[in-house]
């Protein structure tokens, strides 16, 4: 996700780091800026590589160097990557076009065809390669291991394409109870602060609770259930845990950050932003490609706009389809 302002702010932070490594990286990042003050699309992944390199201590120089090379390669091959990406996405779209009018709102297809297509197509880059029609979503078709009463809790792991380029992991538990498949994500915070003015764990618990409500109570969830006649219920349960061994993700806390979701969270994220980040933990990729303000995805979608987006059919579809 991520606030464009926070993004520009973090680039600024690079420039006050005096190590030559960081200044080289800073140079790499600045080469991505285009005339309009925006960024080319490879810049997203490049930024993540650079941020990851910056985060690693000098003890891990080899790894740090690898990440730096990764950032550099994005800068050099940006145009090529972008073209390649377009071709790849078009191929995916042709493979799954039959699901397009089923999962995306007719009105959006008519009025914002290209954006709607973009929001639709990115989620097929999931390591879980089965994409049944949603009317196949029946209890009798669910993979037996997920509805086994003797072993009701199962792990779901895989990878998806984060910010368009980056292969990133998702992980959560599926628990079957009372005809409902509960999707559970447990998050651990590495450095929570408590002071007179702030209590990180308490604050994140509240926001995560709200994010859980967004996932459970957005009208699209019930509408999806009804329209496709699902004969089971689904719930989402997000929890803060204090033991990292129980967590799917263990993340650090910063005042502001762009993430990535699996390593750093910001105190200034809103519950909607957190619902978007947990969307990544549940295996949904970002729908946007640029940080230039020219977002090429459907504005109303949570995985396109993390500040005001909402959950849509295609989001639920891509999480639930892994049960089959």
By beta-carbon proximity to Zn ion, the closer residue of 72 and 118 is 118
C-beta of 285: minimal distance to Zn ion in Å?
Answer: 8
For residues 50 and 47, give the distance between their C-alpha atoms in angstroms, rounded to a whole number.
Answer: 5
Of 309, 159, 184, the closest CA to residue 234 belongs to 184
By beta-carbon proximity to Zn ion, the closer residue of 264 and 286 is 286
Please give the helix or strand (H or E) that residue 112 lies within, else none.
Answer: none
By beta-carbon proximity to Zn ion, the closer residue of 156 and 297 is 297
By beta-carbon proximity to Zn ion, the closer residue of 1 and 49 is 1
Report helix, strand or coil for 33.
Answer: strand
**What does R_g of the chain's alpha carbons equal in angstroms?**
20
C-beta of 176: minimal distance to Zn ion in Å?
Answer: 29
Report helix, strand or coil for 29.
Answer: helix
Residues at the interface with Zn ion (CB under 5 A): 1, 286
By beta-carbon proximity to Zn ion, the closer residue of 182 and 284 is 284
For residues 298 and 117, give the distance between their C-alpha atoms in angstroms, rounded to a whole number.
Answer: 8
Is residue 102 within 8 Å of residue 134, measured between CB atoms?
yes
The C-alpha angle 209, 213, 216, rounded to 5 degrees, equals 135
C-beta of 303: minimal distance to Zn ion in Å?
Answer: 7
Of 184, 309, 176, 290, the closest CA to residue 236 belongs to 184
C-beta of 135: minimal distance to Zn ion in Å?
Answer: 30
Residue nearest to Zn ion (CB): 1
C-beta of 276: minimal distance to Zn ion in Å?
Answer: 6
By beta-carbon proximity to Zn ion, the closer residue of 156 and 278 is 278
Residue 304: φ, ψ to 5°: -100, -45
C-beta of 247: minimal distance to Zn ion in Å?
Answer: 20
The region, left, alpha or beta by phi > 0 then psi within -120 to 50, assigned to residue 283 is: left
């Amino acid at each position: 996700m991520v606030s464009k302002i926070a993004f520009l702010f973090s680039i600024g932070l690079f420039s006050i780091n005096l190590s030559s490594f960081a200044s080289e990286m800073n140079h790499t990042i600045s080469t991505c800026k285009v005339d309009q003050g925006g960024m080319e699309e490879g810049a997203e992944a490049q930024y993540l590589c650079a941020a990851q390199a910056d985060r690693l201590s000098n003890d891990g120089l080899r790894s740090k160097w690898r990440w730096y090379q990764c950032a550099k390669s994005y800068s050099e091959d940006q145009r090529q990557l972008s073209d390649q990406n377009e071709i790849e996405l078009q191929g995916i779209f042709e493979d799954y076009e039959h699901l397009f009018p089923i999962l995306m709102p007719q009105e959006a297809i008519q009025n914002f065809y290209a954006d709607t297509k973009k929001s639709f197509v990115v989620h097929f880059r999931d390591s879980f390669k089965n994409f049944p029609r949603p009317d196949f979503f029946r209890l009798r078709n669910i993979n037996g291991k997920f509805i086994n009463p003797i072993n009701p809790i199962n792990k779901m792991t895989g990878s998806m394409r984060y910010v368009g380029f980056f292969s990133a992991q998702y992980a959560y538990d599926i628990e079957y109870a009372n005809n409902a498949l509960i999707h559970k994500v447990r998050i651990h915070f590495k450095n929570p602060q408590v002071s007179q003015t702030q209590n990180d764990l308490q604050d994140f618990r509240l926001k995560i609770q709200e994010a859980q409500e967004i996932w459970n109570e957005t009208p699209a969830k019930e509408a999806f259930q009804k329209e496709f006649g699902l004969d089971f219920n689904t719930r989402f349960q997000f929890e803060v845990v204090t033991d990292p061994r129980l967590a799917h993700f263990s993340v650090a806390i910063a005042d502001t950050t762009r993430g990535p979701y699996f390593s750093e969270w910001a105190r200034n994220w809103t519950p909607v932003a957190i619902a978007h980040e947990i969307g990544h933990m549940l295996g949904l990729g970002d729908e946007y490609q640029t940080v230039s303000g020219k977002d090429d995805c459907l504005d109303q979608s949570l995985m396109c706009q993390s500040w005001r987006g909402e959950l849509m059919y295609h989001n639920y579809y891509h999480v639930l389809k892994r049960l089959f």
